[in-house]
Amino acid sequence: MDTLKGKVALITGGASGIGRATALLCAQEGAAVAIMDLDGDGGAAAAEEARAAGGRALFLPGDVTRADDCRRAVAATVAAFGGLDVLCNNAGIIRRADVLATTEAEWDRVMAVNVKSVFLMSREAIPHLAARGGGAIVNIASGWGLKGGAAAAAYCASKGAVVNLTRAMAIDHAAQGIRVNAVCPGDTDTAMLRREAGQLGRPEAEFLAEAAGRPLGRCGRPEEIARAVLYLATDASSFVTGTTLVVDGGGLA
């Protein structure tokens, strides 16, 4: 549909799952796409897939918890494609444990990847978005950023922080024409969801069946979450900022 024709999008955690689906969809919709990830093989393959879909794509190896890596990623995107219009802060990890079973190092890592990265990447991206007359930041939060969940204390805290950071940035940068929103997915069929079963010591099939226990009777697909990101990244949502879009098959309902 070319809804992002002439635009430049940077997606963190774009080597797999929701990030990869988002990168591919943005490329299909006409954007030049930069993919940032620690996974070199997966990131390079995702960029090649985006190019095969007819788009321009660049893989940027980097750690979203490191300020220098974030600075280099944004600078490389602007240098390669001439600017930046969309930032999708998708990189994330989960640790399934309550506070008693969570180590300080695990807590710090979850907060760094899930929250600090949003701050670091947005801080680098916002001047470039403003230079283009505005743009969109889409943060991937979670349904567990809006309600609590069992044995996921650090993750719930981190995603709740993403939701409120989204609101704060939306207020601060509206005058620059920058819209900031969050997508809150429910359980989505990705490698990360399957790893949760292992963290909890649960059989994968049993865990996934339980995750599908929502009104629509199934887990989400990465491309379904990507379509929500696309909506918030385009002029289709031109009067939408500071909001959380829940995409969870009715789970929160």
Judge contact between 25 and 4, C-beta under 8 A. Answer: no
Cα torsion at 135, 126, 14, 215 (round to 10°)? -60
- Pick from 146, 135, 106: nearest CA to 232: 135
Give the position of tokens 């490698």: 191
Degrees (nearest 5) of the Cα angle 172, 177, 182? 65
From 59, 81, 144, 155, the catalytic residue: 155
Name the helix (H) or strand (E) containing 60.
Answer: strand 57-61
Q: Give Cβ neighbours of residue 72 (< 8 Å, ≥ 6 apart).
A: 60, 62
Is residue 231 annotated as part of the catalytic site, yes or no?
no
Q: What are phi and psi of 89, to 5 degrees?
A: -85, 90
Helix H, strand E, coil C: the string for 89-152 is: ECCCCCCCCCHHHCCHHHHHHHHHHHHHHHHHHHHHHHHHHHHCCCEEEEEECCHHHCCCCCCC
- Pick from 189, 194, 164, 162: nearest CA to 248: 189
Give the position of tokens 């549909």: 1
195 burial level (CB within 10 Å; 0-12, 13-18, 19+) = middle
| Residues labelled catalytic | 155
